[in-house]
Amino acid sequence: MSAHELITEHLDLWTQAVTKKSTAGRGSNGKVELTGIKKLRELILELAVRGKLVEQDPDDEPASVLLEQVANEKIQLAKVGQIKKPQKSPPILPEDIPFNIPKGWHWVRLGELTKKIGSGATPRGGKSAYVESGVPFLRSQNIWNDGLNLQDVAYIPFETHERMSNTHVFPSDILLNITGASLGRCAVVPVGLETANVSQHVTIIRTIDPLSRLYLHYLMLSPYVQSLIWGRQVGMAREGLSKKVLEQFEIPLPSLAEQHRIVQKVDELMALCDRLEQHTSDQLGAHETLVDTLLGTLTQSANATELADNWARLAEHFDTLFTTEQSIDKLKQTILQLAVTGQLVEQDAGDESVNTLLDRLSSEKRRLIKEKVLKKPKALEPLDTSKFSAIPEHWSWVNLGDVIGIMDAGWSPACPSQPAELGNWGVLKTTAVQVMQYLEFENKKLPANKAPKEQYEVHTGDILITRAGPKNRVGISCVIKETRDKLMISDKIIRFHLIEAGLSEEYICLCLNAGETYGYLEQAKSGMAESQMNISQDKLKAAPIPLCPANEQHRIVQKVDELMALCDHLKQHLNQASNTRCQLAGAVVEGALN
């Protein structure tokens, strides 16, 4: 089967195998990764370097002739002093060969094909040596597989460039990132860039004519060479690639004519992948717009009857509408919005009024203050509800501080690295707090602190909210449904209790995760960077809560739980189907290579 047939016969598989990008917390952008097309790109490159992408031509000169030309050129360059006298590379033994290659190809060490492999250096003075204009100084963030990104390139003075002669970059050099998270990213220096320098995190690979730099670039990006790059790092912490290690890479080399044919075919197939990717992205975008529009009809329903009709129409097309994790997450948010605006369940005229509930709350709070169980709270500013969503007439906007008693933050003692024995204290961290999930714990081993403090112990019915951390992790709340003994909260979590007056902890938590309360919490966060935000207890107490009768709170929570279970079932089915498609794509790749 040709590469083109491999793509076209499995078109649905490549385009439908998608996975959600890894995110944590609330406010996720819901982006997906086109896993199938990514695997297809990797397959194309792997077929290329194994000699399975294009037909071999018996009239081509064997790669051994090309290698002889390269060796002779290397000798001449050494004679005129342009490079050091080449050292003989160790032979490639049969056990070093990872796969078979076509007749006429040759296994060769990377160092035998180059006149330079070497990393750059940092100019004296580091960043203080940078200037507004001058010679480009390329760092790892400038090196990408599809070319150089010069948007945030640094510059050094020409004098500094001259002193750093060993790090000069020339057109057609191959640049490879050799340290850090971007290890393995690789680019060819364009002809338009006359000269530059590179940092110590980038190595220069300068090949000897007449090799095809573009073939070698695709070779470096192939899963085969990428596995060498990631597998042969050096240093105590596997810090990066040394020149010596790179020189020893075993490289499958075809004839020069076949190198050019391979590059042409890879370019053609990668362009096809680009079109598939764009088409799939357009389809996902159109699907997202459709979902947004139809979910909008729910929140804009004029009354419960219209909402029921709109929901019925939506339910008829669940299988075709909610086919991505992002669409299901949006459905969940819509359910929460309907819940906190009184549109999810019918109101009951026989319910106790909110005013009666508020009077009971106020009376109980006064009693607790009088008995010195609670301190007298600070006065809260009146809520401006003019910009809030409409709620039923018998509901009332209140501050969170109006319905809670004790609010406190946790404590983070030093914990040993090994799990503690049962009976020791464990610390509940922010990662355990998830949107719309009830925390339930088994009695199992957890990290233990050295100085337990009972006042921070977690109890059933506690409402937790994250107060510090990355922006999308701050303000997430949940209810403790079940717990274990001697489990405490960390100092990045705020815990509070409702005043005992018939309120539903689950309903208040639901409000914190939706509607105007969620919007308020987003605005109330503060910090110097998105990676480290926080929210104060005073701001939390001022959060607006749409309060409804106690019985209605319980009906809302029950309905939300039912609908969330439906969403979780949809997501589980979706993930199973997605995993199956990804496994099938992997199987097709494996079959094509073997």
Q: What SS3 state is found at 28?
A: coil
- The residues near 371 (Cβ < 8 Å, ≥ 6 apart) are none
Q: What is the DSSP letter of 57?
A: -
Contacts of 194 (CB under 8 A, 6+ apart): 171
pLDDT at 547: 94
Contact 198, 119 (CB under 8 A): yes
Give me the residues paired with residue 312 across strands: none
CA–CA gap between residue 258 and residue 255 (Å, rounded): 5
Tally of residues, the chain: 594
**What was the pLDDT predicted at 20?**
66
> Among 559, 566, 558, 522, which Cα is nearest to 540's?
522
The pLDDT, as a whole number, for residue 452 is 47
pLDDT at position 546: 94
Contacts of 522 (CB under 8 A, 6+ apart): 27, 475
Amino acid 122 reads T
Which tokens go with 408?
């406190």
Q: Which pLDDT does position 440 carry in this prediction?
A: 52
Which residue has tokens 């109101």?
347
Model pLDDT, residue 581: 67
For the chain, 594 residues long, give each residue's pLDDT as a single digit of tens.
Answer: 566 666 667 667 777 777 766 554 554 445 677 888 888 888 899 999 999 899 999 999 999 999 999 999 988 988 888 888 888 889 999 999 999 999 999 999 999 999 999 999 989 888 899 999 999 999 999 999 999 999 999 999 999 999 999 999 999 999 999 998 899 999 999 998 988 999 999 999 999 988 999 999 999 999 999 999 999 886 544 567 889 999 999 999 999 999 999 999 999 999 988 998 898 888 888 878 888 888 888 888 777 778 778 878 787 777 778 877 888 888 888 889 889 998 888 888 899 999 999 999 999 989 988 888 888 888 888 888 888 888 998 899 999 999 998 888 877 665 545 544 445 667 777 777 876 555 554 434 444 444 445 677 888 888 999 898 888 888 888 888 877 777 788 888 899 889 988 899 999 999 998 888 888 888 889 887 777 889 999 999 999 999 999 999 999 999 999 988 888 888 887 777 767 766 776 676 666 666
Q: Which of 378, 426, 557, 532 is nearest to 479 (CA)?
A: 557
DSSP letter string over 101-150? --TT-EEEEGGGGEEEEEE--PPTTGGGG-BSSSEEEE-GGGEETTEE--
Spatial separation of the C-alpha atoms in residues 573 and 580, rounded to whole Å: 11
Task: Give me the pLDDT at residue 317, please.
Answer: 75
DSSP calls for 368-426: HHHTTSSPPPPPPPPP--TTSPP--TT-EEEEHHHHEEEEEE-------SSPPPTTS-E
Backbone phi, psi, residue 546, to 5°: -80, 100
8 Å CB contact between 31 and 324: no
Distance of alpha carbon 131 from alpha carbon 213, whole angstroms: 32
How many angstroms separate the CA atoms of 542 and 512, rounded? 12
